[in-house]
Amino acid sequence: MPNIKSAKKRVLIGKVNNARNKADKSELKTVLKKFDAAVAGGSRGEAESAYKVAVKAVDKAAAKGLIHKNNAAHKKSSLDTKLATL
């Protein structure tokens, strides 16, 4: 445990940021799973609406630094491919 006051604050801020990042990553995974479920369901309209939400979530995650921009591009490309096969 740190002794310096500013170091103690950084530990607390780190915990808050860690919890926020974990929640955001979990939300991203949930959105991607919902898109996969919509594609598996076979409904084109439902899949397209889930696609829009998923792409927005991936872009937000990349902007926040949760995932790398290349990883975001890979995920979006994968979403495109899945939607096109429907």
Q: For residues 59 and 78, what is the distance between their CA atoms, to the nearest angstrom?
A: 14
* pLDDT beyond 90 at 86: no
- Superfamily of the domain at 5-85: Ribosomal protein S20 (1.20.58.110)
Q: What is the mean pLDDT of residues 25-39?
A: 97
This prediction's pTM: 0.87
Instruction: Provide the Cα torsion 52, 58, 64, 70; round to 10°.
Output: -140
Closest Cα partner for 62 from 51, 73, 54, 53?
73
Instruction: Give 73's pLDDT tier (boundaries 50, 70, 90).
Output: very high
> Domain coordinates of the chain in residue numbers?
5-85
Is the per-residue pLDDT at 46 higher than 90? Answer: yes
State percent of the chain over pLDDT 90. 95
